[in-house]
A = this chain, B = another copy of it.
Amino acid sequence: MIRILLADDEHLIRTALGQMLDLEDDLHVVAQAARGDEAVRLAVEHAVDVAVLDLQMPGLDGIAVAEQLAQRLPRCGCVIVTSHGRPGHLKRALAAGVRGFLPKTTSSVTLASVVRTVQAGGRHVDPELAAEAIAAGDSPLTPREADVLELAASGAPIDEIADRAALSPGTVRNYLSNAMSKLDAANRHEAVATARRLGWI
């Protein structure tokens, strides 16, 4: 019997997935969480075999949860399920020790089988996402550029970004200019959109 933690902030989805997994004879959902921090706590508390994590959650996101669990519950395998599969997320997830990565568009039979694979120590990432990740390559942004771009994401004017990043406005513009050229964007907002699409911020 494989003991599972299920984490997703959407109640409806979480219980539906839970019921579905419970229908399998060898799978048992022993805990559910709506938030990332809650997920870590419950996973450790119940010493689950596999954690099925939504990527976007309040508190900690799925990848952060996986990082925590890799340290605090090394025997637990992590499967990440997501609506929007950005290439960058896959990379970060794999770096965090995640062994299963699926978009929510995959067929339902896959999930159970991936849970079993991961519990057995195997890996499974969605082939299409894997291809995208390879095609997208690594982020060309330096850490600082990514920071600044992230701050620019809300649409704030330069001065506010500079203020929040504790940089001079000129420096902010330089970083953004660099990021824009690297991302082949005509302005920083386009750059933000591209970086988001590729999961680089």
Residues of A within 8 A of B (CB): 9-13, 15-17, 19-20, 23, 81, 83, 102-108, 110-111, 154-157, 185-187, 189-190, 192-193
Contacts and interface: CB of A to CB of B under 8 A. Distances in A.
Given A155-B192, A189-B155, A19 B15 contact: no
A41 to B, nearest CB: 20
Nearest to A16: B16
Given A155-B193, A157-B187, A19 B10 contact: no
B17 A155 contact: no
A104 B20 contact: no
A12 B104 contact: yes
Given A11-B108, A12-B17, 13 more contacts: A9-B105, A10-B105, A12-B102, A12-B104, A12-B105, A12-B106, A12-B107, A13-B17, A15-B107, A16-B17, A16-B108, A19-B20, A155-B192
Nearest to A194: B155
A159 to B, nearest CB: 10
Closest 7 CB pairs of A and B: A155-B189, A16-B16, A10-B104, A155-B190, A15-B108, A16-B20, A12-B104
30 contacts: A10-B103, A11-B105, A11-B108, A12-B17, A12-B81, A12-B102, A12-B104, A12-B105, A12-B106, A12-B107, A12-B111, A13-B16, A13-B17, A13-B104, A15-B107, A15-B108, A16-B20, A16-B108, A19-B19, A19-B20, A20-B20, A154-B190, A155-B185, A155-B186, A155-B187, A155-B189, A155-B192, A156-B186, A156-B190, A189-B189
